Copies of this chain bind each other. A is one copy, B any other.
Amino acid sequence: MELPGDVVDLANLVSSMTYRRIEEIVSGKPRELYEASMHLVRAGGKRLRPLALVLASKMYGLSPEISSWAAAAVEILHNFTLIHDDIIDRDEYRRGVPTVHKVWGEGLAIVAGDLLFAKSYEALLRLLDYGLNYEKVLSAIRELTWAATTVAEGQAMDIMFESRETVTVDEYIEMVRKKTAALFKSSVVIGAIIAGAPDEDIAKLADFAFNIGIAFQIRDDELGLVADEKVLGKPKYSDIREGKKTILVIYALERASEEQRKVIMSALGNTKASREELEKAARVLIELGALDYSNKLAEDFIRRGIEALDSTHPRDLRSRETLKQLAYYVTRRSY
């Protein structure tokens, strides 16, 4: 699945605008701290949340010149969560570069994340310089705060799931709603709020982004199983090695024979598992039909999300169309 040419152009524009905003906000002393905070931002990433936010704003007539400050806020928040996630999961690579704690040590990495958290609010406060009224900025701050709280709850669930014997699909969906989908939802909602979208449309856009966010995470789980390391920017099978209860693992464990279960469990959360053991476990997941199941599940969330998006009444229909293409793109990435 590829993005059409004009969408790619917009994506690149938003990405570079957002980056410039972040560079302006995240600068100061001591140098080492700010370098650590900018490390993953510089390494790139797809900047999907900024693009979704800018598109939601454009739907109701607000230009990227202004909305890119809010886009910077959500991207900064996202990068903060990545730095702390990598410490928690002991990940050594992300976006093809060593993680922040591998380069600067754990202490400075924790603080670099904390700094970004604060800076995400600073980015939102910049909106006041562009004539946005107090009420809109406060609503955006409330939404960002909700996202940060919810992501923390989801992250805690994810951590606790690793040491649990069984996790149900419903529990997984709840975790993903919080850990991944919440920030997609808030990105789109903040974009709509600052552009002055009507409340009914904000609710529909929230519904859209929540569903697409869940589908995105399901796809991410799949990619961890089947994508190349080059695409992933980190070692293959790290989810299995870290004991992540991905949708694939949850589905497979519910259906595994005694023997299949043994193969999965010997690799799951085993930091010393060999490449062969990991591959064997991955094969069992696929044999049990986990990918077919997750595919159908993701498609269901995508369908619901698109329905919600289609029911909005934006000023700019073309931006809605582009947002739809983006939704398909992030949830149907090839592997």
Q: Which of A15-29 contact B (CB under 8 A)?
A: 28-29
A157 to B111, CA, bound (A): 10
Q: Which of B122, B128, B149 contacts A145 (CB 8 A)?
A: B122
CB distance from A189 to the nearest CB of B (A): 16
Residue of B nearest to A142 (CB): B125
* With known contacts A88-B110, A149-B118, A156-B33, A135–B134 Cβ distance under 8 A: yes
Max count, chain B CB within 10 A of own CB: residue among A81, A149, A153: A149
* With known contacts A138-B125, A145-B125, A114–B153 Cβ distance under 8 A: no
Please determine whether A153 and B115 come into contact, CB atoms closer than 8 angstroms: yes
* With known contacts A117-B148, A121-B141, A148-B114, A28–B153 Cβ distance under 8 A: yes
Residue of B nearest to A105 (CB): B159
* With known contacts A107-B159, A159-B111, A153–B33 Cβ distance under 8 A: yes
Report B-chain residues with C-beta under 8 Å of the C-beta of A148.
114, 117-118, 121
Contact with B along A68-109 (1 / 0, CB 8 A): 000000000000010010011000000000000000011110
* With known contacts A141-B121, A141-B125, A30–B153 Cβ distance under 8 A: yes
Contact with B along A233-256 (1 / 0, CB 8 A): 000000000000000000000000
A105 to B142, CA, bound (A): 30
Complex copy number for this chain: 2
Please determine whether A114 and B117 come into contact, CB atoms closer than 8 angstroms: yes
Interface size on A, as a range, is 35 or more
Q: Which of A131-175 contact B (CB under 8 A)?
A: 134-135, 137-138, 141-142, 145, 148-149, 152-153, 155-157, 159-160
Max count, chain B CB within 10 A of own CB: residue among A110, A134, A141: A110
Please determine whether A32 and B156 come into contact, CB atoms closer than 8 angstroms: yes
Report B-chain residues with C-beta under 8 Å of the C-beta of A135.
134
Q: For the complex, is A119 an interface residue (Cβ under 8 Å from B)?
A: yes
Report B-chain residues with C-beta under 8 Å of the C-beta of A88.
106-107, 110-111
A212 to B108, CA, bound (A): 27
